[in-house]
A = this chain, B = another copy of it.
Amino acid sequence: MQKVGILGGGQLGRMLLQAAANYPVITYVLENDPECPAAHLCHHFVLGDIRDYDTVYNFGRQVDTLTIEIESVNVDALERLESEGVKVYPRPRALRTIKNKIHQKLFYKEKEIPTAPFIVVENRAALETHLAELPAVQKIGEGGYDGKGVQVLRGPEDLKNSFDAPSVLEKLVPIKKELAVIVATNGRGETAIYPATEMVFHPELNLLDYQLCPADIPRETLWKAEALAMMVVRGLESPGIFAVELFMDSRGDVWVNETAPRVHNSGHHTIEAAFSSQFDMLWRVMLGYPLGNPDARQPSALLNIVGADGFSGDAKYDGLDDVLKMGNTFVHLYGKKTTKPGRKMGHVTLVGKDRQELVYQAGVIKKLLRVIA
């Protein structure tokens, strides 16, 4: 049986391991926290830092194949492991390109993939010489994750809060919709494209409210989005699964925002709403099986369950019973013992025939379910 290691043991690892149990495979997880969501679902749990060269190298030497559930891993170790014959998904070179937002933007530019215009700044002092670029989005080169390391600089008054580190300063695009297209490729020229997902944001709070799939966009926009996602994946020259996040602007033009070279929140609905989930698909790629069917079984909506503001400590799920009673919901709780404001604690997928009904119900769930302590 093939031995596959996962760097990181959060909810993505947890859902990967749920899907792994459909196949004959020996699983390994490397993570610093012995109580992480994935720790108990693998054959071999190794306690250690995914950013440390020796730790990752020694972990990787035990397995045939490696993957990641987060970008902040030691890529040098992965490159050495790859040179020694370990299969790594995504390839370390692709991961290096993606991991640093500066490299990622330069990659889009080099491959002529439409993305918001940008400049690279080395630090806060350099930023001060580019005040004409504001308003703009500043994205830190290394270390950003899950919305962290990204902020809007409206004008000179925001400079004091800017990141004092190498970063990208990106022109604000007039965003009409945010989309994600997940693509899997097995390195034998075969690709599978999932239906585009649409991120719906709260009009005032600018927080992700819920996701809808398939996205409610014109056919031509979908084609553009799929074409760009394919360009990104071809350009990265790596087998694996990739979530390409895109903007649709008010004119219907589509721009690549950023890419995750791994399973991604924008694909969690695929567990119940697609024939082959993003997690199943990655196992197929890694185990050398044919790609799965990415088509939608039904339209779906997805809400993240995040820790409510003002609560930290042992998690309690207020309103959970009401959501579990709904006949078309699938509740995923990640088993995290403690909550804190904004922490991802789970998600709910809804399936249905009618988009209006899904949107309405997503709103109801949003009001019902709160993670408190």
Contacts and interface: CB of A to CB of B under 8 A. Distances in A.
Interface of A: 1, 14-15, 17-18, 21-25, 27, 40-43, 275, 284, 289-290, 292-293, 295, 297-298, 315, 320-321, 324-325, 327-328, 330-333, 335-337, 351
A355 B22 CA distance: 25
Contacts of A292: 324
A335 B24 contact: yes
B41 A335 contact: no
Contacts of A293: 327-328
A200 to B, nearest CB: 24
* Interface of A, helix, strand, loop or mixed by DSSP: loop
A324 B14 contact: no
B295 A23 contact: no
A21 B41 contact: yes
18 contacts: A1-B335, A1-B337, A14-B21, A21-B41, A22-B330, A22-B331, A23-B333, A23-B335, A27-B40, A40-B43, A41-B41, A275-B328, A275-B330, A284-B324, A289-B320, A290-B321, A290-B324, A297-B297
Nearest to A19: B18
A43 B38 CA distance: 10
Given A1-B337, A21-B41, A275-B327, 20 more contacts: A1-B335, A14-B21, A17-B21, A18-B18, A18-B21, A21-B335, A22-B330, A22-B332, A23-B333, A23-B335, A24-B333, A40-B42, A40-B43, A41-B41, A275-B328, A289-B321, A290-B321, A295-B327, A297-B298, A297-B351
Nearest to A294: B327
B24 A315 contact: yes
A23 B330 CA distance: 11
In this complex, which of A15, A41, A297, A325 has the most chain B Cβ atoms within 10 angstroms of its Cβ?
A41
Contacts of A295: 327
A291 to B, nearest CB: 8
A336 B293 CA distance: 26
Q: Can you list the 5 inter-chain pairs with the closest CB atoms, starting with the nearest? A: A293-B327, A40-B43, A290-B325, A24-B335, A22-B332
Contact of A22 (B21, B298, B333): B333
A331 B289 CA distance: 12
Nearest to A321: B290
Nearest to A15: B21
Contacts of A315: 24
A290 B27 CA distance: 33
| Listed residue (A1, A22, A290, A321) with the most chain B CB atoms within 10 angstroms of its CB | A22
A324 B24 CA distance: 14
